[in-house]
Structure 1
Amino acid sequence: MDDFRVVGSDPVVTLYPHNYSKVPEIYEQLQEASQGQPWKAYLKEDLPQEFHYQNSDRIAPIICAPESGYTFCTTKKYPNSKIWSERGDVSGTHGYNNADPMMRAIFIAHGPKFRSTTSALGAPTEYQDKNINTPRELHRPIKLVDVYNIVANALDLTPAPNHGTKFKTSKADSIRDFIRGHFRNIHSLLV
């Protein structure tokens, strides 16, 4: 702990070495420590693309990211965390890899620019072959960065520059076309 400063927790933790020449050494130690564990250590430049972290100067040189269901936390921030695990308490958090199906949210919209149907976010392929009642229409997950553009488009507003998917037109059909054509294969089940 003397070689670096830990920033953040819950669930991802980032490490800022006091001496940047020690980054490879610290990273190698973390790689060894993570073997068989539910977390991975990454160098900033090696992070998965879906993290969208590589191009920010605010990201530490070393990032430790757990699998869903695990978190890095300190006893200083959560003094009763041991008690939680002993009791089997369930809690939630965000900040995991956004490609993980557990990180998906529910998007519900109603209004003249949204088609009225029993469409919904549907079931993953493994559920479709079983006798599970799924919606008639399945959509691919909507990225959180696209919600702003969908809402702006529904309100006939021109969105400010952002990282979401751009619409070709602000007409009502563009939302329907975007959602209908762009979001097909969902991987979460609504019950």
Structure 2
Amino acid sequence: MQSIQSVCVYCGSSPGADPRHAKNARAFGKALAENGVRLVYGGGGLGLMGTVARGVLDHGGQVKGIIPQFLVDREAMLLEVQDHVVTNDMHERKRLMFEEADAFVALPGGIGTLEELVEQLTWSQLGQHAKPILLANFNDFWSPLLTLFDHMRSQAFIRRDLPIGYLVADTVEDILPMLENAAHRVEATPGLRPEGKEREVIQNM
């Protein structure tokens, strides 16, 4: 049985400077649709957000957009999605995105994308959820952040007994298999601290 039914995607409301980011976002949207995985995302129609959502819709997939009222016009809420929710604020938006998702994927993005990603990593580290978290490191976009994590470990700010768990994929094709594998590992091991084991997945794949 497929464990991952919905994936929350964090990504930029800008297309970015590298056209490969949009190409990968669209390809990931297609992969979600073809594998019957619903996209949960921030509801906008601009940048990579709009690109990944349209990639899903154009290939017959399901999309849930969740956007706060103050961003409806600013981020051009995508009305074509099958299900959209307008929230009162960012806190409600993030809570609903978390509740609707079985896993989280960070595509390239800016400060908002980084903030959402780090929040999920923090909650995982503190044992508040066991959902897989993946950085789509297309063209080494997230490599500086991974270097920062290593620096934090070397300075003992990420403790060995309280690691952070994340997956790193270099290609679109790797993302869903890695998420499924991580989800099955957690399901198969009662009491497993997923944040510790998911790091093993990265190292061993």
Q: Which has the higher strand share?
A: 2
What's the TM-score, normalizing by structure 2? 0.29
Structure with more contact order per residue of length (Cα contacts < 8 Å, sep ≥ 6): 2
Higher-Rg structure is: 1
Q: Which has the higher helix share?
A: 2
What's the TM-score, normalizing by structure 1? 0.30
